[in-house]
């Protein structure tokens, strides 16, 4: 399968701060790859180098056969980008902004208009398609502006689509439409790199994940491989009381396959056969006011993600990746 993006040993520094530290990743045609990481992990810095806004200190970026570092202007023609910041659409309607994005990408007036109409319907923003965006955030909500920016990135086909936090400000119903639209572009043959910190949503649509932490790739693979748990494992989440101790380290605590602490949350991964006794233990903790509450549900990627990226997280064993 053809690689539409190949990043190899990429390093970028800001004085003493290493924003990207020897990063390598690949996006193939037809694949949706999630780039996960907390704020400040180096995700946007990486994207800015791919589209030629920053030059790496070391390493290479190839878009298909093109050396993107040596030819940044040519490289930008291979990439459609939705930046993390809102698109500058003041004075325009969503319909006009999307149509103009298609024209800039080389579509005929007729095809650009048809693309805009289709995307407006796909994202269910027809109610606002004729309303102008006004300065200082007026006219259109942040969510509609964000969906318009997303549609502008998809207005014309490109080998690679990069979306930087595409769901920011978007309501839950239209977030699902956005993720579905993103997945369809991958199924239609585009390579997609989606930058996000929304682990739960990304897990449902991506083919592979790359986790960045302090500028380094700390894990990569399919969501199932990074989750590293059995299909019947469950997650017991404890919410600690303010200033309370951690009962999961007590001798009578259930034996967890993975234990992660992030702030006042304790996440325990347990075999399904042990959950009845674990729930009884959690009920006793709640009755004794040692925890504020607990929830039990399917194991998710979040435990592994927090284990990899929370500096003060504590684990009974390394995350399986």
201-243 pLDDT per residue, tens? 888 889 999 999 999 999 999 988 888 766 678 889 999 999 8
Written as one string, the DSSP assignment of 11-72 is: EEEETTEEEEEEEEEEEETT-EEEEE--TTSSHHHHHHHHTTSS--SEEEEEETTEETTT-H
Q: What percent of the chain has pLDDT over 90?
A: 72
Q: Which domains does the chain have, with CATH numbers?
A: 3-226 (3.40.50.300), 229-309 (3.30.70)
* 318 band by pLDDT with thresholds 50, 70 and 90: very low
Work out the average pLDDT over 241-252: 92
pTM: 0.84
Residues 6+ apart with CB under 8 A from 302: 199, 200, 267
* 321 band by pLDDT with thresholds 50, 70 and 90: very low
pLDDT of residue 311: 60
244 near 285, Cβ under 8 Å? no
pLDDT of residue 320: 32
Q: What percent of the chain has pLDDT over 70?
A: 96
133 near 90, Cβ under 8 Å? yes
Q: Which two tokens stand for residue 87?
A: 């698109």
pLDDT tens-digit profile of 22-73? 999 999 999 999 999 888 899 999 999 999 999 999 999 999 999 999 999 9
């Amino acid at each position: 399968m053809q690689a539409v993006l190949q990043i190899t040993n990429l390093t970028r520094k800001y004085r003493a701060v290493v924003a990207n530290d020897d990063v390598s990743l690949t996006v193939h045609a037809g694949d949706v790859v999630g780039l996960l990481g907390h704020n400040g992990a180096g995700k946007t810095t990486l994207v800015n180098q791919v589209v030629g806004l920053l030059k790496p200190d070391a390493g290479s970026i190839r878009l298909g056969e093109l050396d993107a570092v040596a030819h940044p202007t040519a490289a930008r023609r291979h990439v459609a980008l939705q930046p993390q910041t809102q698109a500058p659409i003041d004075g325009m309607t969503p319909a006009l902004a999307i149509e103009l994005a298609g024209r800039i990408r080389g579509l005929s007036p007729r095809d650009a208009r048809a693309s805009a109409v289709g995307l407006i319907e796909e994202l269910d923003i027809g109610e606002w398609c004729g309303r102008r965006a006004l300065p200082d955030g007026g006219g259109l909500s942040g969510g509609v502006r964000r969906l318009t920016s997303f549609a502008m990135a998809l207005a014309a086909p490109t080998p690679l689509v990069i979306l930087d936090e595409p769901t920011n400000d978007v309501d839950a119903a239209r977030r699902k439409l956005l993720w579905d639209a993103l997945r369809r572009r991958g199924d239609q043959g585009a390579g997609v790199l989606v930058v996000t910190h929304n682990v739960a949503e990304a897990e449902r649509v991506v083919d592979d994940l790359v986790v960045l932490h302090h500028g380094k790739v700390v894990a990569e693979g399919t969501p199932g491989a990074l989750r590293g748990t059995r299909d019947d494992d469950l997650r017991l989440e404890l919410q600690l009381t303010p200033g309370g101790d951690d009962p999961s380290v007590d001798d009578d605590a259930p034996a967890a396959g993975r234990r992660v602490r992030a702030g006042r949350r304790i996440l325990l991964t347990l075999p399904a056969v042990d959950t009845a006794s674990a729930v009884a233990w959690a009920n006793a903790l709640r009755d004794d006011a040692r925890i504020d509450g607990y929830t039990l549900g399917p194991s998710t990627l979040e435990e592994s993600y927090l284990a990899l990226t929370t500096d003060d997280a504590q684990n009974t064993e390394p995350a399986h990746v």
